[in-house]
Amino acid sequence: MASEPQDGLTGYIQHHLHHHTLVLGDSSFMQIHLDTLLVSFALGLLFCVWFWLRARRATSGVPSKGQAFVELVVEFVDTQVKDTFHGDRRTLTPLALSIFMWVALMNAMDLLPLDAPGWAVKTVAGDEAAHHTFFRWVPTADINTTVALAAAVFLIIIAHGVKAKGGFGFGKDLLVAPFHAGNPVAQVALMPFNLLLNVVEYLSKPVSLAMRLFGNMYGGELVFMLIAGLFASWISFVPGVLFNTAWAIFHILIILLQAFIFMMLTIVYITMAREHH
């Protein structure tokens, strides 16, 4: 449990909302959140090594608990892809699995003690160093992470659409759907409206993916900060632990649900992009 913040609850929350930032040049716009990059890449590497090792050590006999868990996750994701996408899923299932596990691992960082980085710095370097050290270890509570993930998914959606229909067919779909007309003149007149609707539809997909994940994880992180700040003194240690535990148990559902939603929407959007009108 954290000690009572010097600037009160507001200062405590503001401190924990800061990123460990690297500013490029003189512009405050060009910033790199080093904590977000470090944690997200470390978790991505952890996922790859974890599943690779389990695949290398897999046996045809009675599986170990670790192998059984990995097989359960892979089978679960493959079932979701098979039920939604009726085509060659050899590349789509690994993509869906990577998205689900990576997002779930990044979300799960919210369950770690909020003040652990500050406590570690305080133990090594003292109070002053801890007060000026910032480290947020929930990458999906950073809008940059969710926007980057959504942008990558958006490019994959476009690539699938072009691959399925060809460049000409994909461009044609943007102009002639969803409104069709038998008269060529009327069809040409409808093209600007079709293009506008399709552009809005395509752009809304990454926006919805990014903002939904960010909003839920940012809100969950704020609740943890409020609980930790309100019960910061040693007198309220037991109530603070109880409230944090209760919220953490409920938050597990949000962590897994948001990873599942991000994965499922990716599959659905790719399926839609490959459909022919």
Burial status of residue 94 (CB atoms within 10 A of its CB: 0-12, 13-18, 19 or more): middle
Those residues whose C-beta lies under 8 Å from the C-beta of residue 12, and which sit 6 or more positions away, are 2, 5, 225, 228, 229, 232
Q: Which has the closest alpha carbon to 226: 242, 238, 243?
A: 243
Say whether 131 sits in a helix, a strand or coil: helix
Residue 178 tokens read as 């969803």
H or E element in which residue 227 lies: helix 184-230
Q: Which residues are catalytic?
A: 208, 212, 216
The Cα 148–Cα 99 span in angstroms is 12
The Cα 47–Cα 31 span in angstroms is 27
Q: Which residue has the tokens 């102009």?
A: 175
Residue 104 burial (CB count, 10 A) = 21
Do residues 5 and 11 make contact, with C-beta atoms less than 8 angstroms apart? Answer: yes
Q: How many residues does the chain have?
A: 277
Do residues 59 and 71 make contact, with C-beta atoms less than 8 angstroms apart? Answer: no
Burial 34-45 (b: 16+ CB within 10 A, else e): ebbbebbeebbe
Residue 60 tokens read as 């045809």
